[in-house]
Structure formats: C-alpha cells, structure tokens
Amino acid sequence: MSNNHIKVGEKARDFTIEDTQGNAVSLSEYEGKKNLFLVFNRGFT
C-alpha cells in the first residue's frame, strides 16, 4: 500500500480532473494565484 499523504507545507503533486462542464483542470494552473479548496466525494451504491 502506498503512502499518498502530504505534510503541512509540502507541495501537492500535480493532477488533472474534469470540472462540472467536462473541461480539464490541472492543479498547476492555480499555483501561486489563489487559495484552492478541493473536495473529493466518495460515492456509495
């Protein structure tokens, strides 16, 4: 099992996801521009 935790002050690895309109958005696009709040919801069926 890999350890994907980051520590306070540590730079997060870049990743790309789709926004609600289907456009690709990368974490690196926001570097140094503003605060960013991410929420990852886990769906259950």
Q: Mean pLDDT across the stretch 31-37?
A: 81
CA 6 to chain CA centroid, Å, is 12
**pTM for the complete prediction?**
0.58
For residue 45, pLDDT over 90 is answered with no
Query: What residues have CB less than 8 Å from 24, skipping those under 6 apart?
Result: 16, 17, 18
Amino acid at 2: S
What pLDDT is stored for residue 25 in this prediction?
92
What pLDDT is stored for residue 34 in this prediction?
72
Considering only residues 1 and 4, tell me which one the structure prediction assigns the higher pLDDT: 4
Split at pLDDT 50, 70, 90, the class of 37 is confident
Taking Cα atoms as reference points, which of 45, 38, 33, 42 lies closest to residue 12?
Answer: 38
The H-assigned helical ranges of the chain are none
Instruction: Please tell me the distance from the alpha carbon of residue 31 to that of residue 19, in angstroms, as a whole number.
Output: 17
